[in-house]
Structure 1
């Protein structure tokens, strides 16, 4: 069985999709079979892996509506061990439909869909929308754990309580096994005192849930501000294929190693 990890934060622009793409790619390069599931209507994880929205006929929208199985929409990527379940703007409508529906079965559509392919992958990484709506709830219901990217900026920790509360509700009512895999500081700058302050705040509040390369190591993994990391999506490549030696690539490789234990 695969480990299913959702990357989530209700704030946009915190490095959520960047983390989903590059963690998935780094795990794939580490010889793990990985499925990246894009459930964000913006479809940035899809385009970030080089797929134009007109390149494929079926996407995760068709899985949510029951018209396709997830195995029927999966695309192969440049990395042999990395597959993608693409997204589409049509998911906006699904968000609205799910929000109106009180049926619990609709809140676990994704879990049921992923059960079909779970044995084929070591990891399934879900890129969720920047909101705590019905699609994100579906992702939480399907997942074993959640990684929460935290941008190293002012108000960085604002809203974290909301994410934690949503996870707690899902854990109580729908998915008892759900846990927080960890908090990931992103867009870290060594030149910026604010970045250092955010990491210190995270250490004080969530030290046990920060990623390290080795158990007990005080050297916490942070994702740096990195031009190559910012450029790579426009070339349709994960950073490990765009510039493997860049600081951003090395940070995501370290994150993958941390998760692999």
Structure 2
């Protein structure tokens, strides 16, 4: 697959649940699409919340990421259009929850997603976002092997940094064994309340510990972000003027700017 036409693949991951991972995958995808990027979300979470949040009903999930990984279904047969222009999704169901058991000690078990994404249909996209499960399972390792970089949503609450070290170790292990180009794209603070001293302290600790890995954009606590999934819409479609919408547009712009800067000749 030629590098110049290959899309950038980001794994959105944090083994801690409830940190805004799926919210970030959905709304960052929608924001990138709004900026003119052609985006594919790979739902790799057995809960399938990204699929539901983008309006893909259970009856429209005959072919899913389970079939993609375990039954060699072509990527093109799995992809579904969403109601958002330039944003598609490869949906998931709870079938994915049995992946670790079904694959057992299969020799190629960590390369299944990478192999599946070698399809030429991927060349029609500019950005691919992988919504990972809230664990460091075989599914997450598949995402780390297949992606270019990792985006880590970090909840601005007590104990936020706990467990992040394990993710960093996993990224290092994958870099050393299966994906030498893997990097951390950034850490994005989520559920941030600027009026709350705790949020400010978490941000200070994160920046002191992780430095420039922490993105400038912060995703606020916002009722519109919480409401949008119940309407099967990203917040940009549900309430474009909301603070949540504005924050995800800023995040998309910051990530695109970082990527462009990285591509500049030294």
TM-score of the aligned structures, taking structure 2 as reference length: 0.92
* SS of the residue 2:84 aligns to: coil
Give per-residue Cα distances to partners, 1:202-239, cap 9 Å, x unaligned: 1111121122xxxxxxxx21000000001101100001
Partner of 1:217 in structure 2? Answer: none
* Distance (whole Å) between structure 1 residues aligned to residue 99 and residue 147 of structure 2: 19
1:16 equivalent among 14, 21, 24:
21
* SS of the residue 2:50 aligns to: helix
Partner of 2:244 in structure 1? Answer: 248
Partner of 2:155 in structure 1? Answer: 151
* SS of the residue 1:68 aligns to: coil
* Distance (whole Å) between structure 2 residues aligned to residue 145 and residue 69 of structure 1: 24
Cα-Cα RMSD: 1.0
1:81 equivalent among 64, 82, 86:
86
Partner of 1:125 in structure 2? Answer: 129
Once the two structures are TM-superposed, the CA of residue 102 in structure 1 deviates from its matched residue by: 4.8
* SS of the residue 1:83 aligns to: strand
Q: Determine whether 1:63 maps to 2:68.
A: yes
* SS of the residue 2:186 aligns to: strand
* SS of the residue 1:50 aligns to: coil
* Distance (whole Å) between structure 2 residues aligned to residue 95 and residue 44 of structure 1: 20
Contact 2:78 2:91 (8 Å CA) reproduced? yes
Q: Determine whether 1:108 maps to 2:111.
A: yes
* Distance (whole Å) between structure 2 residues aligned to residue 178 and residue 67 of structure 1: 25
Q: Determine whether 1:6 maps to 2:11.
A: yes
Once the two structures are TM-superposed, the CA of residue 95 in structure 1 deviates from its matched residue by: 2.6
2:234 equivalent among 238, 246, 252:
238
Once the two structures are TM-superposed, the CA of residue 54 in structure 1 deviates from its matched residue by: 2.0
Once the two structures are TM-superposed, the CA of residue 56 in structure 1 deviates from its matched residue by: 2.7
Contact 2:44 2:65 (8 Å CA) reproduced? yes
Partner of 1:165 in structure 2? Answer: 169
Consecutive unaligned residues of structure 1, counting only runs of 5 or more, are 212-219
Partner of 1:190 in structure 2? Answer: 194
Give per-residue Cα distances to partners, 1:132-156, cap 9 Å, x unaligned: 0100000000000000111011100
2:49 equivalent among 30, 44, 48:
44
Consecutive unaligned residues of structure 2, counting only runs of 5 or more, are 1-5, 258-266
Q: May I ask how many residue pairs the two structures share in their alignment?
A: 251
